[in-house]
Amino acid sequence: MQHYEERLTAPRSWWTIAVLIGVACALITLPLGTIPMLGGLVVGGALATIAVSAYGSVRIRVVGDTLLAGDARIPCAALGAAEALDAEGARAWRTHKADSRAFMLLRGYVPTALRIEVTDPADPTPYLYLSTRSPERLAAAVAAGRESAAKADQG
């Protein structure tokens, strides 16, 4: 059984933008006085930081025979072939090759991805598209989870 965990954190430049949003809010409230300016700095910066943190805190994990991608829990037994996508392939699968029924955990700042077929006939989702910095490692972990689920079903 292989364990995999990855957090898709936001790039550093987004944190800089969050700070600049706080400064912009301070400048907007500057004509109202010092206290409102400080309030604008704190509130604007805090809200921007919360937004960046919430968007950049998504996790992808394989625990036992289950794939956890964001809020989704998918048994590895319901998954088929996995395809590691380089930057060009990932862009193609999130644009002109994309299926609107697919589950997409998409982060534009992560150039590579993993596409995994869904083999469960009761599930209308054709595939999972997961932005990941380590598509080969994630594919290996899903394959190990699928094998673990198959062994558990047999034994």
Per-residue b or e along 24-42, where b marks 16 or more CB atoms closer than 10 Å to that residue's CB: bbbeebeeeeeebbeebbe
Task: Examine the pLDDT at 150 and tell me if it is beyond 80.
Answer: no
Across residues 74-86, what is the average pLDDT?
93
Q: What is the pLDDT of residue 60?
A: 95
**pTM, entire model:** 0.83
At 104, give phi and psi (nearest 5°): -125, 115
What is the percent of the chain where pLDDT is above 70? Answer: 98
Most confident of 8-12, 61-65, 83-87: 83-87
pLDDT reported for residue 12: 92
State the pLDDT at residue 116.
97
pLDDT at 111 over 80: yes
Q: What is the model's pLDDT at position 149?
A: 76
Nearest to 69 by CA among 125, 150, 121: 125
Residues 28-73 pLDDT 10s? 999 999 999 999 999 999 999 999 998 888 999 999 889 999 999 9
**Whole-number Å distance between alpha carbons of 87 and 110:** 9
- The model's confidence at residue 155, banded by pLDDT at 50, 70 and 90, is low
The pLDDT assigned to 56 comes to 82
Give me the pLDDT at residue 2, please.
Answer: 56
Confidence band of 92 (pLDDT split at 50, 70, 90): very high
What average pLDDT does the chain have?
A: 92
